[in-house]
Amino acid sequence: MASGIVIIDKPSGWTSMDICAKTRGILKEKRVGHGGTLDPMATGVLPVFVGQATRAVEFAENGEKEYIAGLRLGLVTNTQDTSGETLETHPVTVDRAALEAVLPRFTGPIAQIPPMYSAIKINGQKLYDLARKGKEVERKPRNITIFELELLEQVSETDYLLRCRCSKGTYLRTLCHDLGQALGCGGTMFSLRRTMAAGYTLAEAVSLEDVQAQGEALLRPVESMFASYPLYTLSSPGKEARVRNGNPITVPELADGTYRVHGKNGEFLCLSCAENGTLTSIKNFFGA
């Protein structure tokens, strides 16, 4: 059965779940998940997990991501992007220097109020369902981190491209809206392209047409997601048996940290944490 990770360059107009459904049909595997939702208008890196590799989805969702976002000043919409209804328009008198001057205020740990048009649930109801009924409810600010925020290019008098590397839960639409508020003229997002997720980049991404043509040949091993962690190979059959049974083992030779663990035959067994000479599994991937 198909098992592994394929990095899709999501086209505009598709939901992340549309991509999963299409992949499910091509590879004839029911277990398919993605590593971090992209809005329909967004494009770019969408890691898709197939078969037993779906065990790793949680690690992709929680990781850092990088985007190129298009900011349009002078416009405010109900969705905080150009797919929504216009609420306000304002003349734009600020320049590139003014925008660059406010970027540091949105870098580092910040609190962000999620948009009404989002899948976040409050009292069991998705916010976008409430928004479509014309309702607005109070949303609590969420703590996020923007590690890097850079102005790449001024496209026109009102349009700019920003590069943003950020934590899980960051809404680039809201960032564009908040930047516009800080500049006093309003702002909205006119484009979004994800350039990195789960450590995978656009250079590694393929199209749905590629998946249709090449199928399982494009699947990467689940271990590829954890390539940044050092490798530890179990040379003792006894230790390998304990690991396969979900038990911690003694490893006085290992420094504290996270490791990829291989069996003696080279099979990727698990992602594990070493602490005070004891190695404990974080997640098992036998056969994934």
User: In b/e form, how buried is each residue of 22-52, taking b as 16+ CB within 10 angstroms?
Assistant: bbbebbebeebbbbbebbebbbbbbbbbbbb
For 241, the 3-state DSSP assignment is: helix
Distances (CA, A) of 168 to 64, 215, 240, 248: 6, 30, 34, 30
Please tell me which residue in 18, 39, 210, 256 is annotated as part of the active site.
39
178 catalytically annotated: no
Quote the CA–CA distance of 197 and 65 in Å, as a whole number: 5
**Residues in the chain, total:** 288
H helix count then E strand count, the chain: 7, 18
Which residues carry out catalysis? 39
